[in-house]
Structure 1
Amino acid sequence: MTPACKLLKQKNIVYTLHEYSHDANSTNSYGLEAVEKLALPAHEVFKTLLVSDGKNYYVAILPVSHQLNLKKVAAVFGCKKLALADAKVAERLTGFVVGGISPLGQKKRLKTVIDLTAQRLQKMYVSGGRRGLDLGLSPSDLSVLLGASFIDIIDEKNI
């Protein structure tokens, strides 16, 4: 039971667990590996990225099949410029390992945005807090739990 699962259970949020065997030799990104192994549509599986302006850290949740548009996210958070956070810093701040960073149950709650495409889904999938574990839940439940808004944050091109 990861911190993400504990939080959902504590808040009485309906969710589903989706486990798969993570392949350490996979050439896919962690998110695309989840898409493949769980046989889910790529637009329903979301990755959790940490970004920073050098001083503050923020969370962006977007489909695994897209790239984050740093300019759009910077505008949302009122920053001049943002960059992806260093992996070690992301792990320290969230309490999760890269490839298993969940937006839920992080050590420190950070300001978060969810890509607008999630709003059209009945269910979205996010990391459950370890590699090989995804959680399926309603986008609106995720938004409420995180105090997150749905904003256009992706680059128009797919990965």
Structure 2
Amino acid sequence: MSYKIPVSVLVLIHTPALEVLLLERADRPGFWQSVTGSQNPGETLEQTARREVSEETGLDPDRYPLADWGITNRYEIFKEWRHRYPPGVTHNTEHVFAMEVPGPLPVQVAPREHLGYVWLPYREAAQKVFSWSNRDAILLLPQRAGKP
């Protein structure tokens, strides 16, 4: 079995109007999140972010600007997902990125990972996500995007 590396990315995909793309997890219906994923061996964090955007949305990540926010979160991995990591690993380190697209684009979710998607104004998106780190990042969006 190949274990996941306990280093991941969170990628907020958003529009200039601060609409945020959320994906509903297939393994936890009702749990909404931004694009996320673990780093593969040998990848830079930017490569991980671009790969995850492509895999989870079908969008071409090279067409849109990707910003590394320089924010790192450390959190406890849900017990039901720890088997994916090496024995004894209980925490993950997440790196926050953002990608601005011109408007709410149609996406193709990976059916094994997500049930569907929605574009929401950032405040609504922040209320809908299940992860505190995802919520906190979304709430930083106006400041980071230079919008009042």
Higher relative contact order by CA 8 Å / sep ≥ 6: 1 or 2?
2
**TM-score for the superposition, normalised by structure 1:** 0.29
**TM-score for the superposition, normalised by structure 2:** 0.30
Whichever structure has more strand as a proportion of its residues is 2
